[in-house]
């Protein structure tokens, strides 16, 4: 048996047995949903419907209903796209990278973090889709034989790399998540008493029986998928950053972008995981599984990635001066002192200063403070993408075409709507799915459970 | 199979602890009992060599699918961009695969991962016999919660007396022992 040092903080608190873990996680699925859940899903659902309405209006009317103009051709749509993809990255980081590093604390958070990834990537994929204008020809992004002569998609274009990156990322994350869910659905199936829910969970569990050979394959497949998802997650946000980095726009044309975007993605993703889990642990009573230690570990990741992002901002600023390219310098002078300086300084405060407060142990173990910072970080990260995208293009080479971007109600409606859709999906997940990875938690109970640690010494 | 008119009988011994099951399995195997299957709510590490399960080849499957994906991806891009309809896009060279390779790396990588992951997962699901609508075969619903069941069949152990086996299992700490006869065709 694997031993763990007694001084290491236990990851499962209380006097838990294997059966307790099952009951604690499956209990909320068997019982009736709480009033809070109905209230939250109603609010989220209304916002989601509003967002979908805006999307329908956009598609039926045209991209002109957005605030875009000749100079600012990319604004909130791509900002939201990058923001949502970035949020998704924490889930893969938790499920794949931390698995490879054998971090046991991931067991309590990976399932919901992966769900967050999938929902966030769905929201992200919406934006390039609706930005196409004619969404019904969206399949033209694929290299399909066609009637227009042998006209193929351009494999030199980072936008096409995005198509491959995002679709691979989405499907691989989905499969990774579902592979882990199958044994847990089997647990629910075997506990359910009503024939309908037994049938549904039976279908979802694919007839999993927990044979020794199945478990061997399960562990191997999880490990290999983690090994594949780890470079994948780095590649996806690198490719997203190539959308900008391979262009010749001052402010975008930077080699620092791939690592800068990846760490920013992990930074905002962990913040979103914290926002969701801090609510979930409270509402569903998972205080014994998602402990203060888990929150502290995540806050440490936030300090590290937040600091990398801060260094990247300063490097970028330095390089714009050191390069001696006047357009490049102007792009950055305009960022911090131009008409969008408020968004630049919001970004700086939220992303560079606020996470540094987590150096104090008192603050990073304070749940209310963590919750506030987690939201602040996501606001900051949204502004980061806005700053990169809009402030780099709103004043281009020809001053006569300089302009500003003002969002319309459709811009706002769709962005707020995606938040609504995201939360609706997450609430559905929290209601019907095993939100903690049962089978994985059980494997660490004897090693990291509080009760077993005490008995050993 | 004309000789196998006798009924197949399996014994299901239930344990409430993974380490007790593992120790029991080791002791029984040392006494010459062959264990057919183990059902558990989570992977019991170390059980595979004891009951004679070989290492899975899923990783090799994944590698082969990945290589297939890489080759297909490169072949596709060569065909689309170099052979079928070469275009001058932003002055980027499009005369040979090698010259244009830097621009093809991202898609080649993504398609490799795509094929490696999905190929392996499809193989995994098929080999495990887990598909939507498949019936579960775990002998007791508690084996997906907190109980561990060992299955011993008389087909694998023709000389074993069930009374003797029951005694051995009790001594190893089995909390429930069930004998089940399966009708043979």
Where do the structural domains in chain B lie, given as residue ranges? 8-54+135-182, 58-128
**Interface contact flag, A168 B110, Cβ < 8 Å:** yes
Question: What pLDDT band is residue A150 in, cutting at 50, 70 and 90?
Answer: low
Tokens representing A96? 């794949």
Q: Which CATH class is domain B8-54+135-182?
A: alpha beta
Averaged pLDDT, A238-259:
89
> pLDDT value at position B164?
79
pLDDT digit string, tens, across residues A23-41: 888 888 887 888 888 999 9
How far, in Å, are A39, A280, A375 from residue A372 at the CA level?
A: 22, 15, 5
Asked if the Cβ–Cβ distance from A18 to B146 is below 8 Å, we say: yes
pLDDT at A149: 61
For the stretch A92-142, pLDDT in tens is 888 888 888 888 888 888 888 999 999 999 999 999 889 888 888 888 888
**How many other C-beta atoms are found inside a 10 Å radius of the C-beta of residue A378?**
22
Q: Is the pLDDT of residue A408 over 60?
A: yes
Quickly state the pLDDT bin for B3 (edges 50, 70, 90): very low
- Give the predicted TM-score (pTM) of the model: 0.91
Nearest to A176 by CA among A94, A83, A243, A87: A94
Note whether residue A271 is domain-resident: yes
**Domain span including residue A305:** 18-134+155-446
Residue A48 lies in a domain: yes
Quickly state the pLDDT bin for B115 (edges 50, 70, 90): very high
- Structure-block tokens of residue A362: 């008192």
Q: Is A378 a member of any domain?
A: yes
Task: Tell me which residue in B77, B128, B146 faces A217 most closely, judged by beta carbons.
Answer: B128
What residues of A are in contact with residue B56 (Cβ under 8 Å)? Answer: 213, 216-217, 220
- pLDDT tens for each residue of A52-101: 999 999 999 988 899 888 888 888 999 999 999 999 888 888 888 888 88
Contacts of A196 (CB under 8 A, 6+ apart): none
Residue B184's CB is within 10 A of a number of other CB atoms, namely 11
Count structural domains, chain A: 1
Chain-chain contact of B107 with A179 (C-beta, under 8 angstroms): no
**Structural tokens at position A215:** 């478990």
- CATH number of the domain that residue A329 is part of: 1.20.1630.10
Is B117 in contact with A172 (Cβ distance < 8 A)? Answer: yes
Chain B contact present for A187, CB below 8 A: yes
Least confident of A206-210, B91-95, B129-133: B91-95
CA–CA distance, A300 with B61 (Å, rounded to integer): 37
Asked if residue A141 is part of any domain, the answer here is no
In this predicted complex, what is the ipTM? 0.89
Q: Kind and range of the H or E element at A412?
A: helix A409-432
**pLDDT class for B85, splitting at 50, 70, 90?**
confident
For residue A331, being part of any structural domain is answered with yes
CB contacts under 8 A, B 151-180 vs A, are none
Among all residues of chain A, which has the CA nearest to that of B39? Answer: A211
What are A423-457's pLDDT values in tens digits? 999 999 988 898 888 888 888 887 777 777 777 65
Please state, for a pLDDT cut of 90, what percent of chain A lies above it.
Answer: 43
- State the sign of the Cα–Cα–Cα–Cα dihedral A349, A354, A357, A358: negative
Whether residue B5 has pLDDT greater than 60: no
Quick check: A288 contacting B, CB < 8 Å? no
Tell me what pLDDT residue B185 has. Answer: 45
């Amino acid at each position: 048996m694997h031993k763990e040092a007694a001084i290491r903080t236990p990851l499962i608190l209380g006097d838990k047995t294997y059966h307790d873990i099952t009951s604690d996680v499956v209990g909320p699925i068997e019982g009736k949903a709480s009033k809070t859940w109905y209230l939250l899903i109603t609010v989220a659902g209304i916002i989601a419907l509003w967002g979908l309405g805006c999307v329908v209006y956009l598609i039926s009317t045209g991209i002109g209903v957005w605030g875009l103009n000749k100079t600012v051709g990319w604004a909130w749509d791509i900002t939201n796209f990058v923001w949502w993809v970035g949020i998704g990255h924490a889930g893969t980081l938790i499920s794949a990278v931390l698995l490879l590093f054998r971090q046991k604390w991931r067991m309590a958070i990976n399932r919901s973090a992966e769900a967050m990834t999938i929902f966030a990537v769905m929201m992200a994929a919406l934006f390039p889709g609706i930005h196409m204008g004619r969404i019904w020809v969206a399949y033209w992004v694929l290299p399909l034989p066609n009637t227009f002569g042998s006209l193929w998609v351009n494999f030199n274009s980072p936008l096409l790399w995005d198509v491959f990156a995002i679709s691979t990322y989405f499907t691989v994350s989905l499969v990774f998540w579902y592979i882990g869910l199958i044994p847990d659905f089997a647990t629910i199936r075997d506990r359910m008493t009503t024939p309908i829910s037994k049938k549904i969970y039976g279908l979802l569990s694919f007839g999993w029986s927990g044979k020794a050979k199945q478990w061997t394959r399960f562990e191997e497949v999880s490990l290999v998928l983690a090994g594949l998802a780890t470079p994948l997650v780095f590649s996806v946000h690198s490719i997203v950053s190539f959308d900008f980095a391979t262009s010749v726009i001052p402010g975008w044309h930077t080699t620092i972008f791939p690592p800068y975007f990846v760490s920013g993605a992990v930074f905002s993703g962990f913040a979103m995981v914290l926002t969701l889990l801090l609510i979930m642990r409270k509402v569903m009573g998972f205080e014994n599984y998602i402990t203060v230690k888990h929150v502290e570990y995540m806050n440490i990741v936030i300090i590290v990635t937040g600091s990398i992002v801060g260094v990247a901002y300063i490097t970028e600023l330095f390089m714009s001066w050191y390069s001696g390219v006047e357009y490049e310098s102007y792009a950055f002078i305009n960022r911090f002192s131009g008409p969008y300086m408020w968004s630049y300084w919001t970004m700086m405060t939220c992303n560079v200063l606020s996470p540094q407060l987590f150096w104090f142990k008192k603050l990073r173990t304070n749940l209310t403070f963590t919750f506030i910072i987690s939201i602040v970080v996501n606001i900051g990260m949204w502004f980061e993408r806005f700053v990169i995208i809009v402030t780099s293009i709103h004043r281009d080479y020809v001053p006569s075409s300089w302009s500003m971007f003002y969002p319309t109600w459709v811009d706002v409606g769709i962005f707020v709507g995606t938040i609504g859709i995201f939360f609706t999906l997450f609430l559905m997940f929290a209601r019907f799915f095993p939100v903690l990875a049962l089978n994985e938690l059980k494997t660490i109970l004897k090693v990291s459970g509080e009760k077993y640690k005490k008995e050993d010494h | 199979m004309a000789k196998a008119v006798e009924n197949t009988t399996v014994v299901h011994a239930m344990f409430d602890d993974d380490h007790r099951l593992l120790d029991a399995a080791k002791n029984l195997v040392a006494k010459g009992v062959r264990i057919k299957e183990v059902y558990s709510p989570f992977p019991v590490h170390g059980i595979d060599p004891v009951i004679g399960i070989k290492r899975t080849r899923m990783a090799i499957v994944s590698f082969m699918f990945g290589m297939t994906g890489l080759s297909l991806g490169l072949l596709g891009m060569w065909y689309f961009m170099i052979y079928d309809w070469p275009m001058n896009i932003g002055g980027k060279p499009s005369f040979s695969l090698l010259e244009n390779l830097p621009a093809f790396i991202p898609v080649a990588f993504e398609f490799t991962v795509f094929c490696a992951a999905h190929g392996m997962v499809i193989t995994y699901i098929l080999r495990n016999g887990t598909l939507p609508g498949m019936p579960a075969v775990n002998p007791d619903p508690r084996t997906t919660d907190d109980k561990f069941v060992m299955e011993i069949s008389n087909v694998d152990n023709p000389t074993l007396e069930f009374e003797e086996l029951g005694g051995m299992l009790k001594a190893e700490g089995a909390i429930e022992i069930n004998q089940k006869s399966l009708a043979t065709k």
